[in-house]
Amino acid sequence: MKANPKMKADAKADAAPAGGKKKLLIIIIAGVLVLLGGGGAAWFFMHGKSGDEAPAKPKHKEASKSGPPVFVPIEPFTVNLQPGEDGADQYLQLSFTLQVSGLEEVEVIKNNMPKVRSRMLLLLSGKHANEINTPEGKKQLSDEIIEQARKPFEERGAQQDVSDVLYTSFIIQ
């Protein structure tokens, strides 16, 4: 018996939708997996490993590092120093400028200037004149000023990117 050409056309018509449905189902499943994977990756990068960690400070662009230096002038300080061996009162009058990584750091420091000044006053008023009147003492004081300026202003906040202290006035009397 010979196959009827009409029956062959009907068989092809029935087979095509079944194959098309399978392909459509595979495409839908693949699309859902891609969306879930992308959503999972986005969640991982936005939330980090755990909620207990401090938020990571965004990296500064290399372009800002290669540009001109950015400075934050600090108003002058006058503080009483710790009494010397002879018990005489001495004071320090100090002006300096902080070098920072970019304009974003300038704004953060300016917005928190009362905290910066308080930290510096506490640091400076604990010094003896003989500790800071040598070049080595001034360098050590610079390191301590940088350390205080870098401390986060908010609990679990990011550190400031302060790279140098430049003295503009340094008088001990």
Q: Do 41 and 100 belong together in one domain?
A: no
The C-alpha atoms of residue 82 and residue 86 are separated, in whole angstroms, by: 11
In total, how many domains does the chain have?
Answer: 2
- Cβ atoms of 90 and 173 within 8 Å: the answer is yes
pLDDT reported for residue 28: 82
Q: Do 85 and 29 belong together in one domain?
A: no
106: containing domain = 62-172
Q: Do 80 and 20 belong together in one domain?
A: no
Domain boundary among 9, 24, 51: 51
Phi, psi for residue 77 in degrees, rounded to 5: -115, 145
pLDDT reported for residue 50: 47
Mean pLDDT of all residues belonging to the chain: 80
pLDDT reported for residue 30: 72
Its pTM stands at: 0.61
